[in-house]
């Protein structure tokens, strides 16, 4: 039986699943081919080498992260509603097949890889800019507020990835507290 033909997306999805389950050391052609029950040749047909595969994974993750925030920003709503949606955007990121467990896995990977760290920094900067801008629309200029809301969002995403609970109400309560304290 001939090995199955896979698309680059199939490999990237398998990469995220392996990253979540086993960490960055699992992001190797041979291990992924074994998981997908195919040959390494399919991997190398789509990616020049493992670093090119890593770059494709990171590009996909970054694009999906930014797309989610851009979609929220494009919705016609009040600044308060927008802040509430942005405060929950990371926790609700489930566009990659492994769900919201990808964000903590990518962040853990960033601790040992400069290119991953740079990608995470770009995503963080974009997200923080959106939150800061929305707070500014509400007349709130303290940059620490954006940092607190974003950090809570990241922490809740990690908790949700482990316990499966929806943290919308908790994040909404944080937004309500911030707005009440500074109104």
Q: What is the pLDDT of residue 150?
A: 94
CATH fold group of domain 8-182: Tetracycline Repressor; domain 2 (1.10.357)
Amino acid 4: pLDDT: 64
Mean pLDDT of 10-21: 96
Let me know if 151 is exposed, middle or buried by CB neighbors in 10 A (0-12, 13-18, 19+): exposed
- pLDDT band with cut points at 50, 70 and 90 for residue 3: low
- The domain ranges of the chain are 8-182
Q: What tens digit of pLDDT does each residue of 104-158 get?
A: 899 999 999 999 999 999 999 999 999 999 999 999 999 899 999 999 988 888 8
Q: pLDDT higher for 91 or 58?
A: 58
Distance (Å, whole) CA 125 – CA 131: 10
* Residue with more model confidence, 6 or 58: 58
Q: What is the pLDDT of residues 31-57, one digit of tens each?
A: 999 999 998 999 999 999 999 999 999
């Amino acid at each position: 039986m001939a090995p199955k033909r896979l698309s680059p997306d199939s490999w990237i999805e398998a990469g995220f699943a392996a990253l979540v389950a086993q960490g960055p050391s699992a992001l190797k052609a041979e291990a992924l081919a074994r998981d997908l029950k195919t040959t390494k040749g399919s991997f190398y047909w789509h990616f020049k080498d493992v670093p090119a595969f890593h770059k494709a994974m990171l590009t996909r993750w970054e694009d999906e992260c930014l797309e989610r925030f851009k979609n929220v920003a494009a919705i016609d709503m009040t600044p308060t509603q927008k802040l509430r949606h942005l405060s929950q955007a990371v926790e609700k990121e489930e566009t990659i097949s492994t769900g919201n467990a990808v964000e903590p896995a990518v962040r853990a990977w960033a601790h040992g890889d400069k290119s991953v760290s740079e990608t995470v920094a770009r995503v963080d900067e974009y997200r923080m800019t959106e939150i800061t801008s929305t707070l500014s629309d509400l007349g709130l200029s303290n940059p620490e507020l954006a940092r607190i809301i974003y950090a809570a969002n990241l922490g809740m995403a990690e908790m949700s990835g482990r316990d499966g609970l929806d943290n919308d109400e908790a994040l909404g309560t944080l937004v309500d507290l911030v707005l009440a304290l500074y109104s």
